[in-house]
Chain A
Amino acid sequence: MKTAHPVRHLLRAKDLADTRYREPLDVAALAEAAHLSPAHFSREFHRAFGEPPHQYLLTRRLERAASLLRNTDRSVTDICLLVGLRSVGSFTTSFGRTYGMSPTAYRAANAPAASRARPPTCVLQAYGRPHGSTFGEDSRKHPG
Chain B
Amino acid sequence: MLKQLTHAQVWVDDQDEALAFYTEKLGLELREDVTVPELGNFRWLSVGVPGQEDVAITLMAVPGPPVFEEETRAKIKELLARGAAGGLFFAADDVQSTFEEFKGRGVEFTQEPMQQPYGLDAGFRDSSGNHFRMMSTD
A and B bound?
A: yes
Interface of A with B (CB < 8 Å)?
A: 2, 4-8, 10-12, 14-15, 18-19, 48-49, 114, 118, 120-122, 125
> Which of A19, A121, A122 touches B109 (beta carbons < 8 Å)?
A19
- Min Cβ gap B63→A in Å is 16
Select from chain A the residue with minimum beta-carbon distance to B115. Answer: A121
A2 touches B89 (CB 8 A): no
- Min Cβ gap B136→A in Å is 12
B133 touches A18 (CB 8 A): no
Q: A12-B108, A19-B110 are in contact. List 6 more A-B contacts (CB 8 A).
A: A7-B82, A11-B82, A11-B83, A11-B125, A18-B110, A19-B109
Interface of B with A (CB < 8 Å)?
A: 13-14, 17, 77-78, 80-83, 89, 108-112, 114, 116-118, 121, 123, 125, 129, 131, 133, 135
B125 touches A15 (CB 8 A): yes
| Distance, CA A121 to CA B121, complexed state (A) | 8
A48 touches B121 (CB 8 A): no
